[in-house]
Structure 1
Amino acid sequence: MRKFVFVLIFLGIGENAFSQLIVSDRVVDNQELVGLLKADIRKQIASGNEISESDLAEYFRQKFSERFFYDYQSFAQRLPHYNAVFNKQEDHAKRALDHMGKYADSTLWKLPFNYLNGEPVNAYALRHLARQHKMVDIALHYFNTDKDPKYIQYFENQMGSLNAALETGEYEKIEDGNGVYEAFRSGYRILNWLWIHNMFLNEPEYSDQDQLTTIATLLQHGQHLYEDNDRFVPGNHQTRGMSSLAMLAILLRDFRGTDLWMDRSMLRLKEHIDKEVNDDGFQFERTVHYHMSDINNYYYVYQLAKLNDIPIDQAWEEKLRGLFTTLVKVAYPDRTAPVLQDDTEIPWAEKNDISGAMTLGYLLFEDPEFGYFATDKVDDRVYWFLSNDQIKMLENIQRKQPTYGSLSFDDTGYFIMREGWDEEDKMMIVSAGLDEDKPDHQHGDMLGIQAIANGHVILPNYQVRYSLEDYGFFKNSMVKNVALVDDQLQGKNYTSNRGGSGFGKFKGLPNPEVIAWETNDHFDFFAGRHDGFKNIGVTYTRQVIFVNDEFWIVKDDFNSENQHNYKQVWQGHYTVENGPGLLRSFAPDASGHDILQLMDVDTVMSDGTRGKQWRVIVKENQKDFSFLTVIYPYKGYSNRLDENSIGRINDWKVGLSEWELEGDAANSLSSDSSTYVFDATAIKGQKFTIQAEGVLDVFIKRTENQLFIYSLDSESQSITLIPKGKGKKERKTLEPGSRWVVDY
C-alpha cells in the first residue's frame, strides 16, 4: 500500500506556503492530488504522519456518502426499485452495447476517425461521445447482468483515453465547433461521470486507484471550466457547464481552489437566471425543451446545496420556482404542453410531456399545483439525483387543479386563450416574440397559433431533431399555422452551424409587434403585426378572437400597392367540404374541428411529409385582402357545421344581426344582444348609428340601458356615435382592445 510520506513536511505549514494549484492541461497523479488538499483536510485524513492511497479513497467515499444526492451505500436497494418503476433494462443494454460496439474503450477524440465497423464518425456522434450519456447505460448494464468487470474497465479506459488525448493535444478544440471540453459537453460528461462514480463506489473492481483517478479527472475538468468561463456567455451551454462546476465545487470542496469555482459558478448561474429567465418567467429561448433543460441545470445545484446546508440566494430560489409555475401557465388542459420552437425530445410529436419536470417541481417545493401535473416517477435520469426521502414522497402526491385563465407572457411573447382545466376544454397559444440577443432556436412561426380541444391538438406544431435532414424545413413556416405571401416563408437565410451537428438557424426572422391583448367575460383578443413581408412591399396584421368557450375567429389582413397571392397555412389532416371555404378534420372519437372562411377564397392546396399534412388556403392576385376565418371545435358528427348551408355556428348567426352593416366586405356574427362586426364603415341600429372614419372591427354588446363597444381592430379608430332622433353626437378614439360604454 502506497504512502505519501512527503505530506509530513506540510502538515503544520500555512496554506499560503503551499504553491501547487489545480491544473487544467493534465490530470494529476495521486501524490499531487494529496498536495492539492486544503491543509486542514490533510491533517484530518493523515493516519499518524502519513496519508495512504486507501486513506484518501476512503475519505472521499465517506464524503460522497454524506454529500451526494443519495448515499451510495443504498444503491443496492435503489436499483431494484428503479428497475421496477422504469423497466429500462433492455434500453440500457441496447444503448450500452451500441456504444461499446461503435467505440474502442481507448477511443480517439479528434475527427476524422472511424467507428469499430470502419464507418466514419461524424460531428454529431462525436458530440454525444463527449457527453458520455451511454456510459451511464454501460454502468447500469453492469449491475443488471452478472457484473462483468469489463464494463467498469471500459469506463476507466475510455476516461483514460481522453486524459491521454488531453496531454497530447489530440482532441477536438472549442474553435473547431466540436470542442470536447466545451462547457455544454464537458458539463454533461461531469454529470454522467459523477453519476457513475457514485454507483461504482461499492464495487471491488473499482479500486482505490480508479476512484482517485476519477476524482483527479474531475478536478482537471473543473479547473478547465473555471478558467474558460471567466465572462458571461449567453445560452444554455455555459449554464450546463456552470451547473456542473458548482456540483464539483460542493462535492470536492476539500481541494484548494474549489472555493473560487463555487464563487464563479454561482455568479455565472445568477447572471444566467437573471438575464435568461424573462421577468414573465419563461426561459429566453422560448422553447419548452430548453426551459425544462434549464430547470435541470439549476435543480442539480439547488438540490445539492440544500443537502449540504449551503445557502441559496432567495431571488435565485424564487426564479427557479417561477420556472415551474410557467409550465403550469402554458400547459394544455390534458397536462401536456404545446410544442414551441426547437423542442427536440420526440421528433414530429405534437405535444411536450412536462410530467417529469413538474414532478421535480413538486419534490422541491411541495406545491400541490405542481403536483397536479406530477406522476409517481420523475425522468429516469433524474431519479438518480433524488434523495431517498424524495423518492418516498412520490407515493403520496398532493394535487390541486390550477385556476389560471387566459394570460400573457409579455416579455417572451406568448398569449394563452384558455377555456378551463377540464381535459376536453379548449386552449390556444399565439406566438409573437423574438429574443433580440439569441434567436437561434426560433422557428418561422411569427403570429402562429396552436390549439387543443376535446383532448386533441387540432392546430399542431411539431417537434424537431437537429440531425434529421429536413430539420431546416420543419423549422420554417410551411409546417406552422401562419399566414404567408406568394412563395415567401418567414425564416430567411437558413445556415447550419459550423460543427456539423445538424443544428441551424435563420439569419432573418420577422420582427413582431404586439398591438393589443384583452381578456374579459365575452372574449379574449390578440392583435399583432410583423414585418416579414416588407421585402416585397406587403404589410400584415393578425387578429385572433376567442369567443369565450366556443370558437376562435382569425383575421389575417394584407395590404400592398401590388398584386400578390395571400395564403393561410393550416396544419392537420383535412377534407375539403363543398369548396375551399370549409376544411374539416375528425379525430377517432368523432370530435373534430371545422375551419370556415367567411370571405370568398380561390383555392386550397394540400401538402405533407413525415406523416404530417397541411392545407394552404389561397386568395390570388390581390392588393388588399383579409381572410376572416372561424376555427370551430365540436364533439360528435351532428354538431359539425352544416357544409351545405352555413348560416349558424352554435347560437351565432353568420352575416345576420339586429344591426345593418355598410361596407364592401362587411360581415358579422351575432347571438342575442352580442355581435362581432368586421370591416364595416357604418353600423346602424334602432337607436344608434356607429360611424367609422375607415373600416371597423368591433364587438357590440347591448343591455337594457347601456351599449358596450369593444375595438377588435389593429389600428386606433375614431368613431362617431349618432343617436336616432334627438340627441347629441359623441365621438371617441378607440385603441385596439379598448371599450366605450354608452348609457341610453
Structure 2
Amino acid sequence: MKNIIFFTALILVNFESLAQQIPNNRVLDIAELSEYLNEDTKQKLQGDSKVISSETLAAYFREQFSYGFFYNWENNNARFEEYAALYEEKDAHVTRALDHQNKYKANTVWQLPFNYKNGEAVDVYALRHLARQHKMVDVAMQYYYTGKDTLKVNYFKEQLKSLNTALKNNKVETIESGNGIYEVFRSGYRILNWLQIHNLYLGSEAYSDEDQLLTIATLLQHASDLYETNDTFQAGNHQTRGMSALAMLSILFNDFKDADAWRERALDLLEQHLNKEINKDGFQFERSVHYHISDIENYFYVYQLAQNNKVKLSANFENKLRNLFSTLVKIAYPDKSAPVFSDDTDAPWAESNDISGTLTLGYLLFEDPEMGYFAKSNVSSKIYWFLKKEQLDKLKTIKSTKPSFGSLQLPETGYYVMRGGWDKNDAMLVISAGLDAEKPDHQHGDMLGLQIFANERVILPNYQVRYSLEDLELFKNSEVKNVSLVDTLLQGVDYKSNKGGSGFGKFGSLPQPETLLFDSTDSLDVYIGKHSGFEENGVEYSRQVLFIDTDFWIVKDNFSSANPHNYKQVWQGHYTLEEAPQLLRSSFDNGSGLDIYQLQEVDTVSLSGKRGKEWAMPKVSDRTNFSFVTAVVPFKTYLDRIDETSSKPTIKDWSVVYTPTSKVGIKTIQLNKANKSYFFNVINTTVSNLKFDFIEPADVIIEKGLRDITIRSLSTKEILFTYQDSDSNIAAVMNTLKMGASIKIEMKK
C-alpha cells in the first residue's frame, strides 16, 4: 500500500511539473516563442507558410497591445504631450533618470558585491531598488523629454539583457540572501515597470521587432518564475504585488499555452488575499494608508486590464476593491487628507496622507459622488498612464457629494473615528486600537494612540517614516506617539531590522489591545479601551476618550499597580508651558491652537524632540494608582482658549468644579453645563435632592430632566451605587450599571 501511495505522489508531482511549459530558469530564444503559442493563435499566424516570422509575431503583439493594454501605444506622442502639459514632472523624471544612469552601467551586475560607476559600493537598499526598475520608467520619460534620444532605448535594452545573462550564469542575488532579484514583490514591481516601458517604446525605430520580442520573452520567464515559486498563499503585500503582475501577464499574453494556468493561479491567490487581508470593515490588514493604497493599485491594474480584455472577475473582487476606496473616505480628515497610520512612508515626517489621487481613481472606476468629493481635475501622474482617454474625460464634469459618514468604527482593523463634521473647521479624532494577528510587521508602538484635526489642520499629529533613516526605530515607537507610558517602558519591544538590511525593521512584541466600548450620539462619542503593554511590570492600563458636543475631548488614562511607578502621557506638537505643568498650548499660523489642560494635578512636564518634531510629557512619580484627566481643547481664536489668567477657567461653556474625596490623592472633577454634568472619580454627590453614593470612584454623566434624572456610566468597569431622596426616610436603592449603560430615575413631584 505504501508503494502505491508513493507512486501516486510521483504521478502528481510529474503532472504539476507538466502544468507549465515555459521555463523559469532561462529566457526563451526569439525563435522559440512561436512553439509556445496556443494552437488557435499559432494557426492564425502561420497561414499557409507554416512559419511565423519575427516580423509577424511582433506586429501581432503590437496590435494586441493597441487595444488590450491600459491605453493605445499608437497615441504615445499625443499622450506624452498632454502629460507634459498637465504635470510638472520633467525635472523629477530627469533627475531620477540621471541618478539611475550615473550609478549603473547598462550592462550592470545583479549580485553583490559590486560597485557603482563611480567606484563606491552598492548597498542592499540600492540593489533592491535596481531590481524594481522604477527609475527605468524615468529613463523612458526622459526619452520623450529629450526629443526621443535613442540612447535611452538602448540603455533599457542592455539592462534587460544583462539580467537575462546574469540569470543564465547564476549571477543573480537569491531569495536566501534576503535581497533576491526574483523575489515576488521585486519581480512583480519590475514587470509592471517594464510593461509600461515596453508600451512607451513601441513605435520607436530603436525598438526593433527583435527587441520587442526579447522583452516579451523576458516577461514570460518572469511569469513562469512567479508561477513556479507561488503555489501557496503567503501573507502580505509582497505576494499581492507579484500575483497582480502575473495576472496582468496572463491577460496580455493569453496567446501562450501557460497563460490559463497563470491566470488561474494569480486570480486564486489574489482572491485569497482579498478575503484574508481586506478586513470586513474594508481596511487593508497591515493597518497603513500606504499599504492600503498600494493594494488598491495592485488590484486596480488587474481590474482595469480585465475590463479592457473582457476577462470576467468575481463580484467579490469588484466589491472588495470598491470598499478599499470607500474606507479611505470614512477615515478622511475634513480637509480631504487622511491620518498617518503605522508605516506610511510616502513623505517622511509629514503629518497627514494625500489620498486625493487615489479617490480620483476610485471616482473614475465607480462614479461614486462621495469619492468625487475628493477628486481632482487630474489623476496622479503615475496613474495617468494606466487609464483610457474616455475615463480621463470623466474628470471634466465631476459629480461631487459631501460624505455622509459621521463618527464610526472599523472594528476589525481597530480604528475609531470621532467626527464633528466635514466643514474645514470641524474637529475629528482617530484612535488606533488594533493589532494584526498574522503580520504586524508594519505596526508602530501607538496602541490607543490619538490623532486630531481641527480648524483646517492637524493639531495632534503622528508622523510618516522612511525605512532608510537611522532613527526609524524611534519614530516607530511610542515616545513619538500620543499615548501613555510607564517608567522608561515603550510599547514596541525587541526591535529588529530585516534580513536584507534595507533599513526596514519591526517589533518582536506589541501590546494586545481590547476595545471595551465605542458609542456615538449627537452630543457625546465614547471610546473605552485597554492594552496589555505594562502587565508584565505589574501595571494595568486603560484609556477613556470622550468627545463632548463635537467641541473638545476628555482623555482619561488610568494606571493601577501594587507597587509605585512613574506614569506619563506623551503629546506630539510644539508646546509652550503656559501654567506648567497643568496647561500646555500650541498655536498655529491662522491663530487657532490646542490647549492640553490637566484637570487632575500632575508633578512635572518635560519637552523633547527630534527631526524638527517635538513632544511634551506630563508625569507623576511614585504612584501606585493614578488617572490623568486631561481636557484636549482645540480653539479657533485666542478668545476661545482656556483662559490661563482666570482663577476658575472654563472649558468652552463648561464650568469646572473640584471636590475633595476620602481617597488620598483623588478629587472629584465635575464639568457642568445647563442640566448636564460629567463626573470623574466621583464617590458621592447630590443632584436635585437625589443623593448618589458610589462603592468605588466612578465616571458618570448625570442629566436632569423635568421629572427625571438620567445617569450613565463612563467607567471602565461595572459600577455599584445607591441613590435616595435626601428629603425622604426611604432606604437607599442599590443599582448596578454596566459600562456605557444608563438608567432613568423618576423624581417625586
TM-score range, shorter chain: over 0.9
1:309 partner amino acid: K
Amino acid at match of 1:680: V
Quick one: structure 1 residues 447 and 292, their matched pair in 2 at CA, closer, same or farther if it must change by over 3 Å? same
* 1:359 and 2:365 are equivalent in the alignment: no
Equivalent position SS for 1:604: strand
AA of the residue aligned to 2:282 = G
When residues 97 and 115 of structure 1 are mapped into structure 2, their CA distance, relative to the original with a 3 A threshold, is: same
Retained in 1: the 8 A contact 2:93–2:141?
A: yes
Q: Cα deviations across residues 549-594 of structure 1 (Å, max 9, x unaligned)?
A: 2100000011111111110000000000122100000000110010
Counterpart of 2:387 in structure 1 is 386
What SS does the aligned partner of 2:305 have?
helix
1:669 aligns with 2:671: yes
1:731 is aligned, of 721, 731, 734, to 734
Whether the 8 Å contact between 1:370 and 1:399 is mirrored in structure 2 is yes
Residue equivalent to 2:610: 609
Give the distance between the partners of 2:523 and 2:733, measured in 1 at CA.
25
- Which residue of structure 2 lines up, in the alignment, with residue 696 of structure 1? 698
Structure 2 CA distance for aligned equivalents of residues 20 and 124 of structure 1: 33
SS of 1:457's equivalent in the other structure is: strand
Which residue matches 1:8?
none
Which residue in 2 is equivalent to 1:86?
A: 87
8 Å contact kept, 2:417–2:429 = yes
User: 1:20 touches 1:35 (CA, 8 Å); kept in 2?
Assistant: no
1:175-194 mapped onto 2 (5 Å cutoff): 175-194=176-195
Q: Write the distance in 2 (CA, Å) between the matches of 1:731 and 1:287.
A: 47
The 5-angstrom pairing of residues 255-270 of structure 1 reads 255-270=256-271
TM normalised by structure 1 equals 0.96
- Which residue identity lines up with residue 746 of structure 2 in the other structure? D
Contact 2:526 2:547 in 1 (8 A): yes
Q: Is the 8 A contact 2:559 2:627 kept in 1?
A: yes
Matched-pair contact (CA < 8 Å) for 1:691–1:722? no
Matches within 5 A, 1:172-211: 172-211=173-212
Separation (CA, whole Å) in 1 of partners of 2:107 and 2:259: 30
Structure 2 residue 67 is matched with structure 1 residue 29: no
Matched, 1:653 2:661: no
RMSD: 1.4
> Which residue identity lines up with residue 648 of structure 1 in the other structure?
T
Distance change >3 Å, CA 445–CA 739, structure 1 → 2: same
Give, as a single letter, the amino acid of the residue that structure 2 aligns with 1:125. Answer: A
> 1:356/1:19 Cα in 2 relative to 1: closer, same or farther (>3 Å)?
closer
1:463-612 mapped onto 2 (5 Å cutoff): 463-612=464-613
Contact 1:343–1:463 (CA<8 Å) still a contact in 2?
yes
Residues 20 and 36, structure 1, Cα contact 8 Å, conserved in 2: no
TM (norm. structure 2) is 0.95
- Count residues in correspondence: 725
Q: How does 1:217-236 map to 2 (within 5 A)?
A: 217-236=218-237
Unaligned runs of 5+ in 1: 1-17
Query: Shift in Å at residue 84 of structure 1?
Result: 1.2
Map 1:313-352; keep pairs closer than 5 Å.
313-352=314-353
Q: In structure 2, the residue corresponding to 1:249 is in which secondary structure? A: helix
Q: Deviation of residue 382 (structure 1)? A: 1.1
Cα deviation, residue 91, structure 1: 1.0
Counterpart contact for 2:449–2:482, Cα < 8 Å: yes
Q: What is the one-letter code of the residue matched to 2:273? A: H
Per-residue deviation, 1:662 = 7.3
Q: Secondary structure at the match of 1:648?
A: coil
Specify the code of the residue in structure 2 equivalent to 1:557. Answer: N
1:38·1:254 contact (CA, 8 Å) conserved in 2? yes
Q: Is the 8 A contact 2:658 2:667 kept in 1?
A: no
Give the alignment partner of residue 717 of structure 1, picking from 716, 719, 728.
719
Q: 2:605·2:619 contact (CA, 8 Å) conserved in 1?
A: yes
1:275-313: CA deviation from partner (whole Å, max 9, x where unpaired): 000011111011111111100000000111111111111
SS in 1 for 2:635: strand
Stretch of structure 1 that moved more, 680-689 or 50-59: 680-689
State the distance in 2 between where 1:81 and 1:706 align. Answer: 69
CA contact (8 A) 2:20 2:258 kept: no
In structure 2, runs of 5+ residues without a counterpart are: 1-17
Offset at residue 60 of structure 1 (A): 0.3
Once residues 650 and 622 of structure 1 are traced to their aligned partners in structure 2, the CA distance between those partners, rounded to angstroms, is 31
Residue aligning to 2:8:
none
Identify which of 718, 740, 743 aligns with 2:743.
Answer: 740
What amino acid is aligned across from residue 744 of structure 2 in structure 1?
A: V
| C-alpha separation in 1, matches of 2:412 and 2:622 | 37
SS of residue matched to 2:148: coil
In the aligned structure 1, how far is the partner of 2:192 from the partner of 2:412?
Answer: 32
Give CA deviations for 1:246-296 in whole Å, capped at 9, x if unaligned: 000000000001100000000000000000000111110111111111000
Aligned to 2:75: 74
What does residue 104 of structure 2 align with? 103
Q: What's the offset of the Cα at 1:729?
A: 4.3
In 1, Cα distance between the equivalents of 2:742 and 2:492? 36
Helix, strand or coil at the partner of 1:545: strand
Q: Does 1:121 align with 2:122?
A: yes
Q: CA deviation at 1:19?
A: 10
Larger mean CA deviation between 639-648 and 348-357 belongs to 639-648
Contact 1:225–1:245 at 8 Å: present in 2 too? yes
1-structure distance, mates of 2:441, 2:172: 27
Distance across 1 between alignment mates of 2:724 and 2:260: 75
Whole-angstrom distance in 1 between the partners of 2:269 and 2:206 = 38
Conserved 8 A contact 2:723-2:732: yes
Contact 1:346 1:464 in 2 (8 A): yes
Aligned residue number for residue 12 of structure 2: none
Match of 1:11 in 2: none
Cα offset for 1:173?
A: 0.7
| 8 Å Cα contact 1:511/1:532 also seen in 2 | yes
In the aligned structure 1, how far is the partner of 2:261 from the partner of 2:57? Answer: 23
